[in-house]
Every structure is written in structure tokens, then in C-alpha cells.
Amino acid sequence: MPPFRALRRAASVLTTPLAPEDFLGLVNPLASTRQLRGIVTKVVPETADSATIHFRPGKGWNPHEAGQWARIGVEIDGVRQWRSYSLSAPAGADPAITVTAIGHVSTALVRRTKPGDVLFLDVPQGDFVLPQHPRPLLMLTAGSGLTPVMSMIRTLVPRRPDADVVLIHSARTRADALFHDELLELSDQFPGLTVTHWFTREQEGRRLDLTDFGDLETLCPDWRERASYACGPADFLDEATALWEATDASPEGSLTIERFARALLAGTGGEGGLVTFEKSDKEIEVDGDTPLLEAGEQCGVVMPSGCRMGICRSCLTPLVAGRVRDLRTGEVHGDEGELIQTCINAAAGPVHLDI
């Protein structure tokens, strides 16, 4: 919208060094030049430990495809924390995430979020999406891995009379099963959806065994002909992947998986590690007492620096992955995207820096 942009430019002459949005922010919390935000419109409890948070995103959000995820920022004790969550709402609807209370960020989201709260957002992304052309589908999910698949089912099943979807969802108990009633209703209403709930901890319950074909053959005999999607914990996906690799599946019988993953690199203490400077394309193995700044300088990275004692913050460098140890306090910290004072932080395990 050129007229809007021109107007904004004109207004910024009056507001510099701030942007007009900084003043609009006094009345409209979604106005920001730097940050995409959303306002929570509704919080729906799903199970005892999970809730769906609906939100209205501000300008700059892209409508999501079924199955995609988005980075969600939330403030906990004054600190912005980012995590990625799958969107559970169908494509075309206002976005919503379904969060299970595991870990302190997710727990805070489930327990404390209320309508009117502001969430910080990144645009939806991910390739775990429905196939381009109609095909019979098999969905294998466990726990909260159902979330992206729910978005697919909600998108596809009510709109496509020719849909043919089999869902096998594993949960500990019926009370823990996300979207349990809604799935049963959908499968009653639409013949294209078949739902099997697999409860591991109810009477006679056991793990869904994907180490061989047994369970799968019973639950979905034509699984080899279906385009399959799996989402769940790592071992669940590892088994599924191995199973599909061991099979001569038909060309249609591909498996698409979505992994649960957090910190790509786990640091365990102040033991040092391999530091990778991504943009400079350099890496160096250092001990736990060498500041990252010195590590960078040692291998020829032009590092920003200042006081070299942790007071001036000239050396702030974004962390891509890994954990670092504050040499002053011994505290091990580090979240994706966090700006690190390289002069007083050392590697705690492998570290990737965005420089």
C-alpha cells in the first residue's frame, strides 16, 4: 500500500528516532515495527495438562498451511522465551497452538495464558504438510505429536468428500488423549476418516510396537499403499523410519515425519567444546576457560569487542545453538537467538555463533 507507506514515512519525520508505530503502541499492542505479535482471543483446556491457545496475529503474519509450526515468544518472569509449536487450527482459520505442559515455557503457556495476553510470533514454517494431490493417508501419532496432524485432519476431512484418512494415535490414557471426542465425532460424521486410539497405560495396554509389521498390519492392512505421516517422540519416529526403510513400500507408500526436538546441542557443564562461527565458516576446539571472544580471535574471526570484562556489551553475538558458561558466575545458559557477551562466556559443549 504505497499511500500508507508514504504516510508512515511522513509521520516518521515527526517521530524520529522512534517509528510512528512506537507511539501507536501506546494504544494498540499489536503495533510494532520490529516484532510480529498476536493477541490471545481464547484459551480452551484440552486435557488436564494441555490447552489450545487461539490468537489473532498482527500485520505480517502469513496464513499457515495445515501441519506447519511457528515460533512463539512468551514472557516469563520478564524474560522473552521462544519455543516452536505446531499449529492445530485448520488452514484458513485463525491460528491456534495446542500446548502440553512439559518444560517451564510450555507449562507457563498452559497454566497462565489468558485472553488479551500478547504473544510474540514468527511466521509459520515447515514442510510437514498435506500432499499436493489427493491420496489415501495414514497418520501415526503419539502424545502431542497429534497437533500438526489434527490441523491436517480438520482441514481435509470436512472439505473433501473423497478423503481417505486413517489415524492411529497413541496416548497414555483416554484422559490424556488430545482431541479425543472431536476425533470420534469427525469419524462418525465423515466416512473418510478412520480413528484408532491406542492407549498404552489403560488396562491391557502396551506400547504401540513399530519394531515389526505386526501392529500396523492389524490396524491398517493397506498401510503400504498409503502416504504416511508420523509425528511423536524421537524413539517412536526412529522405529517408524526403520520400519519403512525395511519395507519395499510402493511408490505411494512414503513416510513423512516431524520430529520433536529442542536444543540441538546439549551442553553439560564448563567443559569447553567445538565452537563454530557460522558466517565466518571457521571452527575451533576450546577449553571451558577460554572466552568465546578469544576463541574467535584465535581462529581469525573478526569479533566485535570492547571492554573485555563484561561491562560494555560491544561484543554481543547471537547464539545459534549450544550452551555457554558465564565465566563470572559459572551459570550455564543459552537459548537459540540469545545475544551472548563473548568476552565473559565460554563454551559449555559445542557452540554455534552467528558470526
Partner 1 sequence: MTTTANRPTETTDPTTRVTPTSPAGAPAPAEPTQPVRRKPVLAAAGGPSVRPPAAAHLSDEDVERLGAELDAIRDRVMASRGAKDAAYIRRVIKIQRTLELAGRATLLFSRKRAAFVAGTAMLSVAKILENMEIGHNVLHGQWDWMRDPDIHSTTWEWDFVSPARTWKHTHNDLHHTWTNVVGKDKDVGYELLRMDESQPWTPKALGNPLYNLVLAPFFEWGIALYDLELPAWQAGEKSTEDLKRDLLDTGRKALKQFSKDYAATPGAAALFGSGKQAFWGTFTANAIRNLWAHSVIFCGHFPDGVDTFTEEMIEGETRGDWYIRQMLGSGNISGSRLMHLMTGNLSHQIEHHLFPDLPSNHYAEVAVEVREICERYGLPYTTGPLPRQVFQAWAKVCRLALPPRAERLPKGSVNQAPPTVRRSSPLPMVAHGG
Which one, of 230, 231, 227, 229, lies nearest residue 250 by Cα? 227
Euclidean distance between CA atoms 35 and 91, whole angstroms: 23
Residue 130's SS3 state is: coil
Three-state SS string across 168-208, please?
Answer: EEEECCCCCCCCHHHHHHHHHHCCCEEEEEEECCCCCCCCC
Distance CA 345, CA 64 (A): 38
Binding characters for partner 1, 166-195, by CB under 8 A (x = yes): ------------------------------
Contact between 79 and partner 1 by CB under 8 A: the answer reads yes
The cell 558466575 sits on which residue? 329
Q: Which of 158, 205, 233, 288 binds partner 1 (CB under 8 A)?
A: 233
Query: Does residue 205 belong to the site contacting partner 1 (CB under 8 A)?
Result: no
Minimal distance, residue 217 CB to partner 1, in Å: 26
Q: Which is nearer to partner 1, 187 or 231 (CB)?
A: 231
Q: Which of 47, 52, 86, 151 binds partner 1 (CB under 8 A)?
A: 86
Helix (H), strand (E) at residue 263: none
C-alpha cell, 231: 509425528
Separation between Cα atoms, residue 91 and residue 112, nearest integer Å: 26
Per-residue binding string, partner 1, 88-127, x by CB under 8 A, is ----------xxx-xx-xx------------------xxx
For partner 1, which residue of 6, 44, 246, 309 counts as binding (CB under 8 A)?
A: 309
Which one of 179-187, 192-200, 212-220, 252-260 is the stretch in contact with partner 1 (CB under 8 A)?
A: 252-260
Helix or strand or coil: residue 264?
coil
Query: Is residue 218 at the binding interface for partner 1, with CB under 8 A as the rule?
Result: no
Identity of the residue, 246 or 311, whose beta carbon is nearer to partner 1 in the bound complex: 311
Taking CB under 8 A as the criterion, which residues in 334-353 touch partner 1?
338-339, 350, 352
Q: Give the residue, chosen from 157, 284, 319, 348, that forms a contact with partner 1 under the rule CB under 8 A.
A: 284
Residue 260 is a binding residue for partner 1 (CB under 8 A): yes
80 lies in the binding site for partner 1 (CB under 8 A) = yes
Could you say whether residue 35 binds partner 1 (CB under 8 A)? yes
Q: What's the gap between Cα 329 and its chain centre?
A: 31
The set of long-range contacts for 28-35, using a CB threshold of 8 Å and a minimum separation of 24, is 29/118, 30/58, 30/59, 30/118, 31/58, 32/58, 35/120
Tell me how far, at minimum, the Cβ of 162 lies from partner 1, in Å: 28
Minimum distance between the CB of residue 221 and partner 1, rounded to whole angstroms?
27
Among the listed residues 22, 202, 225, 354, the single contact to partner 1 using CB under 8 A: 22
Which residue, 61 or 69, has its beta carbon nearer to partner 1? 69
Neighbours of 9 (CB within 10 A): 10
Residues in 132-151 that interact with partner 1 by CB under 8 A? 144-145, 147-148
Q: In the window 52-71, what residues touch partner 1 (CB under 8 A)?
A: 69
The stretch near partner 1 (CB under 8 A) out of 51-59, 167-175, 205-213, 299-307 is: 299-307
HSE at residue 208, side-chain half, CA atoms within 13 A, is 25
- Which CB sits closer to partner 1, 57 or 350? 350
Could you give the residue ranges of the DSSP H alpha helices within 16-60?
20-24
With CB under 8 A as the rule, give the number of residues binding partner 1: 79
Give the integer Cα–Cα distance in Å for 199 and 204: 9
Amino acid (1-letter code) at residue 41: T
- What strand order describes the sheet that includes 227-232? 193-199, 165-171, 137-142, 227-232
CB of 285 to partner 1, least distance (A): 4
